[in-house]
Structure 1
């Protein structure tokens, strides 16, 4: 990345978007904001734009990453697009291979397939997603599902395999020149160890499991074996961050995300509250403790403070890439934050591309 002595980014910066739905807004508003953020990220030199799969959460509209990414391929030209991630236990591997083969055909060389082994929701919703014949499949079956998915992507199921005659299309059988790189996502040691053993890039969810970041990255690096994909480990971490023109504004916005998470964790999910509601909420002592702990892992404040916080986090973890997420109420605040962070690192400013339909 280009930059000046003032604040050049030590590693690539990327964006994770959950299509957050705030009070007074709709899912359409959230999804259109995601397009605006992706275009801004592309024009300001961010490396990737990922979306995450979540279900039955009123404050999140990103239940269908492949659908959102298909829309984004038509509104961007250069930024990498991907899933952070698709929750593989919720889907048949062939379906995922064909969805992301389609995306790769639409945007060759720009698609990432990030995979998680959690359901991305609660147990009842997971049961509704998988139905009775797949209820017993879960995280413990993830390595087998992953291996099958990669085989479909590469079109190399061995002879004698019960699915050997099945082809994922679009894919190599139709002349695809490339296929999406597979990433493993996680917030524990399981995916870190598996990613290392398979020689795959690894993305750790520091933004909601900060205490395990360094141990997981250490385990990933210790477990790493070179592969056809990577010669050396490559670790990305997701981090909650919000920059604003003053500290009070940043605090007001990140408090909305913290209250939303508190409600989710206590079985009361809803739309992202407004700053006014978050400020006036009657927190109990235990709730205030949760909020303070949550906000302790959010990099927030003025652009210089956020830059210092991100640089410090990178230095502590040795991450090869930082993926910023800002799950707050205000769409304008999120757009402004990414602009300010780009300015803090003197990222290049390029004219946003026109809408593309190729």
Structure 2
């Protein structure tokens, strides 16, 4: 399984202390369209590849006007056609929303399209609200699906490996593309989480763990401690591997950076208060009449976003690595427009001296 270990463990470029990667929410801002956001994602994947970012992952969300990443496998096939080297993956597929066989076939197809470049990150949450989760799963009891996560994970793994034992109800059922068609690669499986549940399960199974620090920063250190303490060496990993999702945005000056990340904070405020919408413009976010409670919420969100000039972002990321011992950072740049997001990843790469390579065509 050395190839799998190599696929999981990245290599830092320039002076970055750990490998840097991209988490793409395919955000849609006021005045924009999903089509434009998906074009930005392709441009971002090419940029990330040319500047030495290790991975480009796409998250699964549903019924959110400001997000266009409801179908990670479809988007990843699009990104695979626009890149040739960077690893591509899900950050993640919300497994309770899907039949394990369907996920195995989707990612088997992606592995066939982009051999050796696909990661399968799995989450237990719905990626949406409870009512949408029920509609997504065709059930009035969406929580029951989440409770079955370990069983579904084991089932998915057996479909990927095509190794159901004799006597199992699914023996002889094959995920295609897959091993039944001949020697093939297999996407590494990652567990994602924002609490201790997935941390412990990832440790017990010896899988790499991606923690959503950008979503739940207060729980980061306890979850990582639990993952490392519960880790058991496996055929996949002989030591824990932590990928940390981080909200980070670099701009030309601190004021510009704050104006951009304020748009994401207001979008989250609206989502949390039952008013989801497109990501507002910086002007709209600045003019919004925040109540004291809303201002407190927004300032709390901004405190957890690493933002400022490129050097300030670099210092913040270095401090985060030192504090958490993360093996890899996956940056998500929350901003209204695609240009600001692309510029942020360029500035971070410049700050770390990540060399620029020729981008592939296509």
TM-score of the two chains, using structure 2 as the length reference: 0.96
Partner of 1:253: 260
Choose which of 166, 176, 201 in structure 1 pairs with 2:173.
166
1:210 and 1:126 map into 2 onto residues whose CA distance is: 25
What is the SS of the residue equivalent to 1:89?
helix
1:1-358 equivalent positions in 2, closer than 5 A = 1-3=12-14, 8-132=15-139, 135=142, 137-355=144-362
Superposition deviation, residue 133 in structure 1: 7.9
How far the C-alpha of 1:176 sits from its partner, in A, is 3.9
State whether residues 105 and 176 of structure 1, in contact with CA within 8 Å, keep that contact through their aligned partners in structure 2: no
Distance in 2 separating the partners of 1:194 and 1:101: 24
SS in 1 for 2:56: strand
Structure 2: distance between partners of 1:242 and 1:174: 44
Range that drifts further, 24-33 or 168-177:
168-177
Work out the number of aligned pairs and report it: 351
Distance 2:54 2:142 in 1: 37
Report Cα offsets for 1:270-310 as digits up to 9, x if no partner. Answer: 00000000000000000000001000000000000000000
Shift of 1:328: 1.3
Deviation string 1:163-198 (CA, Å, 9 cap, x unpaired) is 111000000111242100000000000000000000
8 Å CA contact 1:13–1:324 kept in 2: the answer is yes
CA distance in 2, matches of 1:298, 1:192: 22
What is the alpha-carbon distance in structure 1 between the residues aligned to residue 143 and residue 275 of structure 2? Answer: 27
Task: After TM superposition, give the deviation of residue 140 of structure 1 in Å.
Answer: 1.2
CA RMSD of aligned residues (A): 0.9
Measure the CA separation in 2 of the matches of 1:164 and 1:266: 47
Distance in 1 between the 2:207 and 2:314 partners? 28
1: CA distance, partners of 2:112 / 2:234:
25
Q: Deviations over 1:203-236 (max 9, x none)?
A: 0000010000010000000000000000000000
Post-superposition shift, 1:351?
Answer: 1.2
User: In structure 1, what is the Cα distance between the partners aligned to 2:142 and 2:260?
Assistant: 38
- 1:134 Cα offset (Å): 6.9
SS in 1 for 2:191: strand
Structure 2: distance between partners of 1:50 and 1:345 = 21
Unaligned runs of 5+ in 2: 1-11
Contact 1:104–1:110 (8 Å) recurs in 2: yes
* More divergent stretch after superposition (127-136 vs 256-265): 127-136
